[in-house]
């Protein structure tokens, strides 16, 4: 199958491109390089530079490349920034997704895979998080994901769009081949920040709060390897054949790790110390978020190849050691 990977030069998109190739399908990349890296695009994969909000541009690619499925990884993801500049998030994450879906409609491409986030569940009353819990996002970023989820439901019923929504927990790690990995600017995620503190690229890490109602007082998160996430997407292709199919999966390992546990694993894996201090809670952080991945495991035969935080951090460490300054371009 031919898969249009929108945001294919970004962190998760670029890993998905490799997994699509490994599964014997053909990826085609669209990226506007606002956050993507040219160095993450593999040789030989068609690259169309431009914006998913440009309906004619996307429509012409869908037609000329005979695309079967569209995958959308092109969201803005900084929760804090979404609070100070919500319109930027609504424009990119909602308006431009409307345009992308419109282009798909015009070109009669009816299969869509959408990257959502566990943040759509907000501060849930139940843990682990399963698919049937109510959606209660509270940040503008989370709300944009929730709004697209709702919109996709309407499109499925009105136009016969078939979609799979994947709610990621904490996407982490790097392809073990060592050529691509996580390179955000600014970086806000715990694992790369802890690695950079170990490498001496940052003075220290700040632990955001040690007074949460968790075993060690720091937040619990479900770190899931980016290649594992990618393989779940590919397993969904064959489930999208009937018009109007609506699928929702929570993708995490189901095994939470605390902030202090992650820091300890970075110490173990690197053999270096991780300097850190303790700061106040970060606004918007929930005490715990981890998945019940049973539905993806059962229905998609999803196999988690990186089931523990050690193997995930080890893959990230390899990338950061071999690419201390991230991608060259």
CB 252 → ligand UDP: shortest distance, Å? 11
Catalytic residue among 11, 141, 249, 290: 141
Helices (DSSP H) in the chain: which residue ranges? 11-22, 55-64, 79-84, 86-89, 96-106, 140-159, 190-198, 226-236, 259-270, 294-299, 309-322
Choices 121-129, 187-195, 267-275, 300-308; region in contact with ligand UDP by CB under 6 A: 187-195
Phi-psi region of 23 (alpha: psi -120 to 50; beta: other; left: phi over 0): alpha
- The values of phi and psi at residue 165, to 5°, are -105, 130
What 3-state class would DSSP assign to 212? coil
259 to 298: interface string for ligand UDP, x by CB under 6 A? x----------------------x--x-------------
Task: Please report, for residues 63, 80, 144, 178, the alpha-carbon distance to residue 156 in angstroms, rounded to integers and kept in the order given.
Answer: 21, 32, 18, 39
180 binds ligand UDP (CB under 6 A): no
79 to 118: interface string for ligand UDP, x by CB under 6 A? ----------------------------------------
CB 208 → ligand UDP: shortest distance, Å? 4
CA neighbor of 30 nearest in space, from 13, 10, 11, 7: 7
Using CB positions, name the residue nearest to ligand UDP. Answer: 219
CB 124 → ligand UDP: shortest distance, Å? 14
- Rounded CA-CA distance 13/166 in Å is 13
Residue 326 structure tokens? 């991230």
CB 213 → ligand UDP: shortest distance, Å? 13
Does the annotation mark 141 as catalytic? Answer: yes
Q: Which of 6, 70, 197, 205 binds ligand UDP (CB under 6 A)?
A: 205
- Rounded CA-CA distance 141/120 in Å is 9
Instruction: List contacts with ligand UDP (CB under 6 A).
Output: 170, 188-190, 193, 205-208, 219, 221, 259, 282, 285
Residues with active-site annotation: 141
């Amino acid at each position: 199958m031919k898969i249009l990977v929108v945001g294919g030069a970004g962190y998760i998109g670029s890993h998905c491109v490799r997994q699509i190739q490994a599964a014997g399908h053909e990826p085609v990349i669209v990226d506007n390089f606002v956050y993507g890296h040219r160095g993450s695009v593999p040789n030989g994969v068609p690259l169309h530079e431009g914006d998913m909000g440009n309906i004619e541009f996307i429509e012409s690619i869908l037609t000329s490349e005979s695309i079967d499925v569209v995958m959308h990884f092109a969201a803005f993801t900084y929760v804090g920034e979404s609070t100070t500049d919500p319109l930027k998030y609504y424009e990119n994450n909602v308006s431009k997704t409307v345009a992308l879906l419109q282009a798909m409609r015009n070109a009669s491409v009816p299969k869509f895979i959408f990257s959502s986030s566990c943040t759509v569940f907000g501060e849930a009353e139940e843990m682990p998080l399963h698919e049937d819990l109510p959606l209660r996002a509270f940040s503008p970023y989370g709300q944009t994901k929730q709004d697209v989820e709702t919109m996709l439901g309407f499109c499925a019923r009105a136009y016969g769009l078939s979609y799979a929504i994947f709610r990621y927990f904490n996407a982490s790690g790097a392809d073990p081949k060592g050529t691509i990995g996580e390179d955000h600017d600014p970086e806000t995620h715990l694992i790369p920040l802890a690695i950079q503190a170990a490498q001496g690229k940052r003075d220290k890490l700040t632990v955001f709060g040690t007074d949460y109602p968790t075993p060690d007082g720091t937040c619990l998160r479900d770190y899931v390897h980016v290649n594992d996430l990618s393989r779940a997407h590919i397993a969904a292709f064959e489930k999208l054949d009937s018009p109007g199919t609506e699928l929702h999966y929570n993708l995490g390992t189901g095994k939470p790790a605390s902030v202090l546990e992650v820091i300890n694993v970075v110490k173990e894996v690197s053999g270096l110390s991780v300097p850190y201090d303790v700061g106040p809670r970060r606004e918007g952080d929930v005490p715990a978020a981890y998945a019940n991945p049973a539905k993806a495991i059962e229905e998609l035969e999803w196999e988690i190849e990186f089931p523990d935080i050690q193997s995930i951090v080890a893959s990230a460490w390899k990338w950061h050691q071999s690419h201390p300054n991230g991608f060259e371009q």
